[in-house]
Structure 1
Amino acid sequence: MAEYQHVSTFPSLPKTNRGLPLVISSTPSGDKIVYCNGNSVYIVPSDNLTGTDIYTEHPVATTVAKYSPSGFYCASGDQNGNIRIWDTTQTTHILKATYPIFSGPVRDIAWNDDSKRLAVVGEGKERFGHVFLFDTGTSNGNLSGQSRAMSSVDFKPTRPYRIISGSEDNTVALFEGPPFKFKTTFHEHSRFVNVTRYNNDGSLFASAGADGKVVLFEGTEGTKVGELADDAAKGAAHGGSVFGLSWSPDGSKIATASGDKTVKIWNAADRSLLKTITFGTAIEDQQVSVQWSKQALVSVSLSGFVNFLNVELGTVETIRQGHNKPIVALALSQDKQHIFTSDFEGHTTRWELATGKSQRVKPTLHKSQIVGLAHASNGNLYSVGWDDTINVATIGADGVESAKVNPTKLPSQPLGLAAAKDGSVAVVACYQHIAVQSGGNISVTGIPYHGAAIALSPDNTIVAVGGQDSKVHIYKLSGSQLSAEIKTLNHSGAITALSFSPNGEYLAVTDSARKVVPYSVAKDYVSASDKEWTFHTAKVNCVSWSPNGKRLATGSLDTSIIVWNLEKSGEHPIIIKGAHAMSPVNGVVWINDTTIISAGQDANIKHWNVPL
């Protein structure tokens, strides 16, 4: 029997940049969408929330990925101008080839219809576009003729072959071949051209730009056929930049996504507007991409939210929320049905563990990074953030989008949080203080060291504070009153995380010197393990006890999760190497005695089964 098994992933959202078009794509069958964040490429099913596959071999941030029409390969590009072509039929994703194309970010990739040729455009120093043969990398022509970075490229899917590209010099270029050479440019746009796309039979192509215009051209010679115009947008297609354009699979309709916070669906034949789908009013509601596959019409908001749209009704069916920035805090709900995660920017999301459904907690709890989260059985969600407040959000039956927020100022910067299961008391480790919140009041104790982490015993009588002075300081708590320090435990590195076991018998401590130590509380805090637990190869970030109090899980900067068994403390632990590929593990929590949830710097949440 395997030591552990990766069960599922709640994936990160796509990475977005304000003012830049985002390219998302789909598999040939249309059952999955493909997008980038961090160093990874995500292949996410459109019908379920947990069956995500992630490709993580790029050494730098990825920018765009496209499946070949055959479905056997994927080509992905990155910030340094490299293209990696890899196998999609196996989960190991064997690398077929890697080609350095230019010395700047890749913006778009296109395959031709027989999966033999690739066109790549971007922001190179010596060139902005390149077309080459997939298996050998040999050049198949020259994509020059535009004077600034090229944002978009597409192959005509039928003979005679053509390539179209859009550029920041406000032009659309047409190339004929193979071998491909410059034919002509079109000056229909007055600002950057963000996207150029052919329809399914190559009879037409469309371009969309930052001027709000969408222009249709004949597919072979590029004669202008007309423009998409909406009277509400003063005769342009949209009232803001058009960042995304996608033809319906049968070529009869066009979807466009814009910075004016709408997605519009058009009839391609008579260029009439069929539906306008309006998103919210915030900047984050700008629509930066749209992809129409055989199974779904999907748009992406500037916030990274992935929106599944109903074409017939012109409505938003579901929104996948979550994070596209590093997850820095993780808490399990008391009923173990949900987890709460917070990211680097202070956004908090609630996830339904059984399905992966996600909802952003609104209003936003903190204006900056959250460093501690805890959920109590009375429905309160406690959080502390670098805006130097502790927030108690009441999450009632109405769900998380109408949370009642109640922030209280703290005396110095908070770095750790622990709360009683019933919500009767919460304790915060601050840079120069320990704060105890009970019944709406806060009592503050100054400390001569810098706090870093904190834990509260299950019976709410002991507070353990980890310091940046490499010591654990133990205090007694009665009500909201903290006693003088009763015990000090010395470590060789700054304390990073602390946790009492569910029955209160043990206190687990982790530090930046890679150590994990379980202390026996009743035996005056002697170590409860037979050997030193130093299997991590870098700073340990987080620790969690299994409900039966026999096993510990720790996550580390070394990208691994280690499961330690207190009953076999001298034996080799179970190591989940590279649990979050190339990314520190920032949070771990046990759902039951064999299931761990982990959250990483890569903005992914993973489920692991670790049998007894």
Structure 2
Amino acid sequence: MTSDSEEYKQECTLPSLPRTTRGLPLPLSASPDGNKFLYCAGNSVFIRDVNKIFDCDVYTEHSTLTQVAKYAPSGFYIASGDKHGKIRIWDTTQSTHILKAEYSLINGPIRDIAWSEDSKRMAVVGEGKERFGHVFLFDTGTSNGNLSGQSKAMTSIDFRWTRPYRLVSSSEDNTVAIFEGPPFKFKTLFHEHTRFAQCIRYNKDGSIFASAGADGRVILFEGTEGNKVGELIDTNDTLCKETAHSGGVFALCWDFDGKRLVTASGDKTLKIWNVEGRKVIGTIRFGSSIDDQQLGVVWLRDKIVSCSLSGFLNYIDPETFSIKKILKGHNKSITAMALASDGEYLFTADFEGNITRWKLSDGSSERLTPLIHKSQISSLKLLNDGTLISTGWDDTIAFTEKALTILDNAQPVSHKLISQPRGVDSTKDGKTVVVASQRAILIFTDKRLLKTIEIKYEGMCIALSPDGNILSSWRKCK
């Protein structure tokens, strides 16, 4: 601010990553025009532009953890569901996101939402206590059928957008169900999967729907009666053993033409399929760690976006089968940050000990690896020479040189502290560093411990004058 009349202006939002759970699909969904995608994190829903990293809107009106969000085909509304079974339907055309309707439906976590093609009907499934699914008119909440027939939690649901109308669902009882209507009623149950059926989707013209399961199989069904018409099998991968993937398939998504299909799996791959030929035409392999499992995927106009167990969002070119970009960041609470003196880079740290470097000019982000701290990071300080100082609840302080340029294979100089550190600061030249801990103030010179001053209070934070002559610390008040 340069004068009393000016106000602070928000320049951008650096969004949270999706909050993932191992073994559970992570729902991603696209806007009708294919330019934006949705995901949930914490109590919020994030609306992100696939081409503009800084273009992000956040909906924060849920009172508990959000589970899934879906655009209406009209593009005017988004429906979001939370872990208590509540659905909120809200406006997308205004920044205030005016609430259209709110319903409590299944008394448990909502796993998936589907809209009819006219944006008038909605189907919701999840882990309810009295029922696992419900279909209703979105503006009044009036029931539009009965989604019974599966004996365990329903995991996924989709509408057929052409006549005759159908609803299809998958369930943890390993089955796929088809419902006819409206009003919708149970028609047929299919037992093709041997483990949880986790995702089910119609193609654009409704001629085929596909189901994906924890057994690694992807089954194709005829769109109206549900007869099995085929199965996607990767004959080139010896690990698959007559299945689509060697691990469970968490998600699938059709392209906008309904001719190709992308699948996301716990085997740490995405596969793109030519459905008519029943052949895999491209495989995108990620890393070898558990965090590289693929839990969600959505096909946008000219990109595919997938979500790893780490929460990272991967941008895939569906023509070259290559990873074009990876959006990194945090999906746990941010506990510390440090800004470079020139304002070009920002470092943030989280509850799990991860450190991310953001380039503020373009929004790109990278993780500092390997993990420097084993638990929550309490403070960060970035020196002018590019050294990043961090303190963590593992009772250590770490000095990581060249953090602005070298992110992989970080080799910090670490020191064990006598108690849990709470704050850190340094002189302008960075030669003297001070740390406030629970039981002492510690002074470091040239990355070596110079002096320990025991205190009779619980230190909370600390500040050092640029010339190093004045030290100020704050204590916890009881």
TM-score when normalising by structure 2: 0.96
Please tell me whether residue 56 in structure 1 is matched to residue 74 in structure 2: no
Q: Are 1:279 and 2:281 counterparts? A: no
Among 258, 275, 291, the residue aligned to 1:251: 258
Matched to 2:135, the amino acid is V
Aligned to 2:455: 447
Name 2:413's counterpart in structure 1: 406
Question: Does the aligned pair in 2 maintain the 1:124–1:149 contact within 8 Å?
Answer: yes
1:463 to 446, 459, 471: 471
Count of residues paired in the alignment:
470
Q: What is the CA distance between 1:446 and its match in structure 2?
A: 1.7
SS of equivalent to 1:211 = coil
For the 8 Å contact 1:417–1:427, the answer to whether it is kept is: yes
Alpha-carbon distance between aligned partners in 1 of 2:448 and 2:140, rounded to the nearest angstrom: 70
Deviations 1:156-182 (A, max 9, x none): 111100000000000000001000000
Amino acid at match of 1:355: D
Q: AA paired with 1:275?
A: G
Which of 427, 450, 466 lines up with 1:420 in the alignment? 427
Note the C-alpha offset of 1:307. 0.4
Q: Which amino acid aligns with 1:83?
A: I
Q: Secondary structure at the residue paired with 1:6?
A: coil
Alpha-carbon RMSD: 1.2
Cα offset, 1:39, TM superposition: 1.2
Q: Deviation digits for residues 53-74 of structure 1, max 9, x if unmatched?
A: 1111111111100000010111
Structure 2 counterpart of 1:7, from 5, 11, 16: 11
Structure index of larger Rg: 1
Match runs of 1:498-577 below 5 Å: none
- Worse overlay, 394-403 or 42-51: 394-403
Residue 366 in structure 1 maps to residue 370 in structure 2? no
1:288 aligns with 2:292: no
Q: Work out whether 1:331 is the aligned partner of 2:338.
A: yes
- Note if contact 2:151-2:173 (Cα within 8 Å) is conserved in structure 1: yes
Following the alignment from structure 1 to structure 2, what is the Cα–Cα distance between the partners of residues 238 and 295? 24
* Residue 109 (structure 1) shift: 0.1
Q: How far apart, in 1, do the equivalents of 2:389 and 2:447 lie?
A: 12
* Residue 33 of structure 1: aligned partner: 37
Secondary structure of 2:11's aligned partner = strand
Aligned partner of 2:438: which letter?
Y
What is the deviation of 1:396?
5.4
What is the CA-CA distance between 1:463 and the residue it aligns to? 1.6
Task: Report the alpha carbon displacement of residue 364 of structure 1 after superposing the two structures with TM.
Answer: 1.3
Q: Tell me how far 1:114 sits from its aligned partner.
A: 0.8
What is the alpha-carbon distance in structure 1 between the residues aligned to residue 91 and residue 9 of structure 2? 23
Report the alpha carbon displacement of residue 426 of structure 1 after superposing the two structures with TM: 1.3
Confirm or deny: 8 A CA contact 2:302 2:318 kept in the other structure.
no
Indicate the SS of the match to 1:142.
coil
Q: What are the residue-to-residue correspondences of 1:92-241 with 2, within 5 Å?
A: 92-231=96-235, 232=237, 233-241=240-248
Q: Which amino acid is the alignment partner of residue 294 of structure 1?
A: R
CA shift, 1:365, in A, is 1.6
Distance 1:118 1:77 in 2: 12
Mark the CA change 1:194 to 1:51 in structure 2 (over 3 Å): closer, same or farther: same
Structure with the greater relative contact order (CA < 8 A, sep ≥ 6): 1 or 2?
1
CA contact (8 A) 1:395 1:402 kept: no
146-155 vs 434-443, which moves further: 434-443
Give the Cα separation in 2 of the matches to 1:221 and 1:153: 16
The amino acid of 1:179's aligned partner reads: P
Structure 1's unaligned 5+ residue stretches are 471-493, 495-612
SS state of the match for residue 12, structure 2? strand
For 1:406, the aligned partner's letter is V
> How many angstroms apart in 2 are the aligned matches of 1:227 and 1:421?
65
Matched, 1:72 2:79: no
Structure 2 residue aligned with 1:310: 317
Q: Deviation digits for residues 421-443 of structure 1, max 9, x if unmatched?
A: 33212111111111112123213
Supply the AA of the counterpart residue of 1:245. L
Moved more, 120-129 or 231-240: 231-240
Q: CA deviation at 1:3?
A: 2.8
Summarize the Cα distance change of 1:441–1:399 in structure 2 as closer, same or farther, 3 Å threshold. Answer: closer
Gaps of 5+ in 2: none
Q: Are the aligned partners of 1:75 and 1:86 in contact in 2 as well (CA < 8 Å)?
A: yes
Q: 1:449 to 1:396 in 2, by over 3 A?
A: closer
Matched to 2:197, the amino acid is V
Q: Find the residue that maps to 1:5 and give its secondary structure.
A: coil
Deviation, 1:2, is 6.1
Residue identity opposite 1:14 in structure 2: P
2:85 touches 2:108 (CA, 8 Å); kept in 1? yes
Structure 1 window deviating more from structure 2 (351-360 vs 192-201): it is 351-360
CA contact (8 A) 1:363 1:405 kept: no
- Normalising by structure 1, report the TM-score: 0.75
Distance (Å, rounded) in 2 between the aligned partners of 1:72 and 1:217: 31
Whether contact under 8 Å (1:83, 1:98) holds in the other structure is yes
- Check whether the contact 1:132–1:138 (CA below 8 A) recurs between aligned residues: yes
Letter in 1 for 2:467: D
Q: 1:434: which partner in 2?
A: 441
Deviations along 1:31-57, one digit per CA (max 9) or x if unpaired, are: 111111111111000011111111111
Alignment deviations for residues 538-564 of structure 1 (CA, whole Å, 9 cap, x no partner): xxxxxxxxxxxxxxxxxxxxxxxxxxx
Aligned to 1:346: 353
**Match of 1:284, SS?**
helix
SS of 1:147's equivalent in the other structure is coil
Q: Distance in 2 between matches of 1:89 and 1:111?
A: 18
1:83–1:99 contact (8 Å) kept in structure 2: yes
Q: Distance in 2 between matches of 1:50 and 1:365?
A: 28
Q: State the Cα distance separating 1:311 from its structure 2 match.
A: 1.1
Q: Given the superposition, is the C-alpha separation of residues 288 and 267 from structure 1 closer, same or farther in structure 2, using an over 3 Å criterion?
A: same
**2:28 is aligned with 1:24:** yes
CA contact 2:428–2:467 (8 Å) conserved in 1: no
Is the counterpart of residue 264 in structure 1 residue 271 in structure 2? yes
Query: Is this contact kept in 2: 1:28–1:69, CA < 8 A?
Result: yes
CA distance in 1, matches of 2:95, 2:278: 43
AA in 2 matched with 1:322 = G
- Whole-angstrom CA distance in 2 between matches of 1:223 and 1:422: 73
**For residue 60 of structure 2, what is the amino acid of its counterpart?**
T
Alignment partners' CA distance in 1, 2:256 and 2:77: 21
DSSP-derived class of the 1:143 partner: coil
Q: Is the 8 A contact 2:302 2:317 kept in 1?
A: no
1:220-247 deviation line (CA, Å, top 9, x unaligned): 1111111111232111111111111001
Q: What SS class does the counterpart of residue 208 from structure 1 fall into?
A: strand
CA spacing shift, 1:380–1:397, aligned 2, 3 Å = closer
In the alignment, is residue 395 of structure 1 matched against residue 402 of structure 2?
A: yes
Q: Alignment partner of 1:436: what SS?
A: strand
2:366 aligns to what SS in structure 1? strand
- The whole-number CA distance in structure 1 between the counterparts of 2:447 and 2:417 is 13
Question: What is the deviation of 1:403?
Answer: 2.5
Return the alpha-carbon distance in structure 2 between the equivalents of residues 336 and 23 of structure 1.
35
